Amino acid sequence: MAATRPAAPVVIGVDSSTQSTKAALVDATTGALLAVGRAPHTVTGSDGARESAPEAWWSALREAIAAALAEARVPASAVIGIAVAGQQHGLVVLDAAGRPLRPALLWNDTRSAPQAAELTTALGGPGAWLARTGSVPVASMTAAKWQWLRAHEPAVAGTAAAVRLPHDFLTERLSGIAVTDPGDASGTCWYSTEKSAYDPELLDLLGLDPAVLPAVAPSGATRVGTLTAAAARALGLPGTVTVAAGTGDNMAAAVGLGLGGAGLLDHPVVSLGTSGTVFAATRTRPAAPGLAGFAATDGTYLPLGCTLNCTLAVDRFAGLLRLDREDAAPGDGVVVLPYLDGERTPDLPHATGLLTGLRHTTTPRAILGAAYEGAAFTVLRALDELLTACGLDPADPRVRERPLRLIGGGARGRAWTDTVRRLSGRPLVVPAATELVALGAAALAAAAATGEDPVALATAWGTGHGETLPPVAHDEETWERISGVLDRAAPALLS
């Protein structure tokens, strides 16, 4: 009788985002996506509050992995590694038994805007923060959320035995080890990208005991251990599965695109999801006031501009207008600033949406198109600052010829793609892979299990490859119209 051929090694990349968990089963050798399991999250809150229960993330992770294993019909014994990429900045506070003391404050919770401003002043202004962390505190940063908790729920803050980011919480549930990575840690505003370590002076400023924080692994691909017995039982996986340190969602997307020290450097990415981001991997340590000066997870850096209002805001306009999201036309003189949840870049945490330029001839399709334009403009406006942070001249024709890599749910929509092409005037690459955060996490898992470089692995897998769309003429008229409205409206939006 012929011997049974062993199953090919498989890794699991987990994308624990704001709205859902996705678990990708990936062939560790070829990078082939075998299956994706999904489970939703619940986000609660109003008037700037955005919270989720961390235990629900763990339940969603279990559900998503079970669904992926069932769909792929892969034996659990084939799984060799797992890594979690999570939504950045969220504040998770735990008791001594590892149980959440309250729901997590999410990245898009804007209640901590006053604390962000207070922190900026307390250290001596934006320049002092840029020199240490590469970022200036805004409402989304974890340090501001911790200060909000101290001010509004001091009993909870005072009894917290552990402070975690969302991906840290899940990695600890998997491995039993409290660990984070440089990429996700750099979004806290208490980690120094200058020294690649927690900053003791900032921790003192925040009244934060370093003992409650996880250790920082050298990279997201660091092997931190294996599944605990409890996690192995809960997931139906062998206890021998390697657990990687994991990282933040933007850092994992960069790995999935093959960006970093072993791949592409200084090539910009536009991500269109619940939030809109523009980022690039670079060897130049960023320190620009309009950007988050993150570390990448592989030893390079990941400067990033982020907006709160992207696909969700535009979908809201489509719903109000009773239109399909693709049933949009150019704005035709209408300007929409879709700041329905405040805004992060520009830093307008208390802003509301603005609609101007209406005439009797204005159509609903034009209003929806203007919402697309306003959201895309807000993301793209940060592009020149991003390129400058990478040490590049945005006006250099050779730099302008570098295509934007367009990812996220919006990249699958014609209206989004057309709007970004028109407002950027640049060529686009739209990767064929749809789960780049999960695929990047899978590369981290495979690297932790095999000792290979995760960016080199993702590059060999080809997960960043896709269709190239040539540039179209830059719509300068629409760009200047939106820019003028934003500049005039900013003082009112700040109030």
Count Cβ atoms within 10 A of the Cβ of residue 161 and give its class: 0-12 exposed, 13-18 middle, 19 or more buried: middle
Nearest alpha-carbon partner for 224 in 451, 11, 448: 448
Report CA torsion sign: 300, 271, 168, 198: positive
Name the catalytic one among 15, 249, 347, 418: 249
Number of H helices, E strands in the chain: 18, 24
CB 286 within 8 A of CB 387: no
Pairing mode of beta strands 51-52, 104-105 = antiparallel
Contacts of 48 (CB under 8 A, 6+ apart): 109, 110, 111, 113, 341, 342, 349
Angle at 104 between CA 103 and CA 107, to 5 degrees: 145
d(CA 377, CA 19): 24
Look up 249 and say whether it is catalytic: yes
Q: What amino acid is encoded at 213 in this protein?
A: L
Please check if 89 is assigned to a binding site: yes
Pairing mode of beta strands 335-337, 223-226 = unpaired
d(CA 362, CA 333): 9
Report CA torsion sign: 342, 347, 350, 356: negative
DSSP string, 161-187: SEEE-HHHHHHHHHHS--EE-HHHHTT
Two tokens at 121?
């002043």
CB 154 within 8 A of CB 185: no
Please check if 88 is assigned to a binding site: yes
Two tokens at 406?
């367009």
Helix (H, G, I), strand (E, B) or coil at 22: strand
Annotated binding site for substrate: 88-89
Annotated binding site: 88-89
What residues are labeled active site? Answer: 249
